[in-house]
Structure 1
Amino acid sequence: MPIVDIDPETNSELTKIMPGVKSNLEHYEWTQHRTFDGRDAGGYYDIAIDLVKDVNASDVRDLFAQNIGETITLFEAKKAFERTFRTGTATTLNLKSSNNLATEIRIKIKRPLPGQQLADLLIPSGGISCVQVVVDAVGVGRVSEL
């Protein structure tokens, strides 16, 4: 995979919000998205970091953090999303899972410009979503029979 050319500060921030950096996830993501984005890796990841921070400062993050080991529903996640990002924005959110464990929160957005807030970028996804997921503690990856 191509080298991801980012400055040390961006790399440090990326390591905090994307644990997969240890397995070179940023290389995979850059390979997947660079063609469509049109900016350099540093600019792309600086914006991505800011958007993840928006999610991490939201009620969605709190919902997941307060329910480790528990099942949450898509309805609960969408309500938490709307409490932070405004009524009607939850159509952008989908949950993905593997073996019932939450693996992704997907949020569809239009191409962001530097400094834009997540709430200003949301668009309906129309994607398929799990109706409920189990919230796993970081790094555990196992769940007993439900």
Structure 2
Amino acid sequence: MTTSSTNIDYQAPYARTVREGNWLQRSERWLDDKGKGAWIAAMVLGFIFVWPVGLALLAYMIWSKRMFSSNCASKRTRHSSMRAAMRPSGNSAFDAYKADTLRRLEDEQHNFEEFLKRLREAKDKAEFDQFMDDRANRTAEDADAGDEKPSQA
């Protein structure tokens, strides 16, 4: 497909994709695509050539948890798939089904969280009751032990 005014073939394999974001965001995405090794290499090169850049990269990697995560790109793909799930498909029947399923899943999650809360409260109450019973038993034992000793007067 070509346009008559510019004669550019947008379907050609050499056509450049549209770049989103500024150069920092593009650099971050590029390094994420390459993996943790690319981040470390960029940091080391930053220390070698301009040490404040290496220090800034190290601080950013620690602050953004890239240093300790398993994969940098996994975060981005998780968020992009979530955005794709929320985007309408254009088919009204499917969109209604999807909205109903998501609402049902949210209700189930809410009910499960309430169940877990009640379960934690019951466990806490049982532990507290056991503590109070143990305390009462110890107090009764201490009182019995105190009565058995002869007083020295």
Tell me if both proteins adopt one fold, taking TM over 0.5 as the criterion: no
Alignment TM class, shorter chain as reference: under 0.3
Instruction: Identify, as 1 or 2, the structure richer in strand.
Output: 1
> Which structure has the larger Rg?
2
Greater per-residue helix proportion? 2
User: TM-score w.r.t. structure 1 length?
Assistant: 0.21
